[in-house]
Copies of this chain bind each other. A is one copy, B any other.
Amino acid sequence: MTDKFSTPIQLRPIGYVENGVDEAISPAMIRAVESRIILKPRLENGLKSLGLSSRVMVIFYFHQSEGYELQQHPRGDTSRPKRGVFALRTPRRPNPIGVTVVDLDRVEGNVLFVHGLDAINGTPVLDIKPA
């Protein structure tokens, strides 16, 4: 049981996000931005058939998130009661993983052009799945 709780899991990015957003802005604003996901060139063949879906799930790592509290005000709004971190989508969480379903505009080689990704420039991407 101790092992199940403590075994570290090591991942490597499959790529990263490029967009014009260099610091956190509101999710609503960032979702309107076009982002490019630059995949490792050797993984490009893994994109075959992805264009069949117009929506894809992007799993990424909030690389600038530091620390967390177990209970937080939604969107930092102190007028709202605190909720548990697992009942929030805040980047400040035990494993700072984000999951967002985005609109896939097109794929060019190892680059995905998407809308709706709430991740800043340089964010490491861990996985892409059909939504």
Residues of A within 8 A of B (CB): 4-16, 38, 40, 43, 45-50, 52-53, 56-57, 59, 61, 70-71, 82-89, 93-95, 97, 99, 122, 124, 126-130
B99 touches A48 (CB 8 A): no
A95 touches B127 (CB 8 A): yes
SS of A interface (majority): mixed
Q: Count this chain's copies in the assembly.
A: 2
Residues of B within 8 A of A129 (CB): 86, 88-89, 99
A5 touches B9 (CB 8 A): no
A8 touches B9 (CB 8 A): no
A47 touching B84 in the complex, CB below 8 Å, given contacts A59-B59, A127-B95: yes
* A-B residue pairs in contact (CB < 8 Å), sample of 11: A4-B13, A4-B38, A5-B13, A8-B12, A10-B11, A11-B95, A12-B94, A14-B95, A43-B70, A86-B127, A94-B127
A87 to B57, CA, bound (A): 10
Residues of B within 8 A of A45 (CB): 70-71, 84
B87 touches A130 (CB 8 A): yes
A64 to B5, CA, bound (A): 16
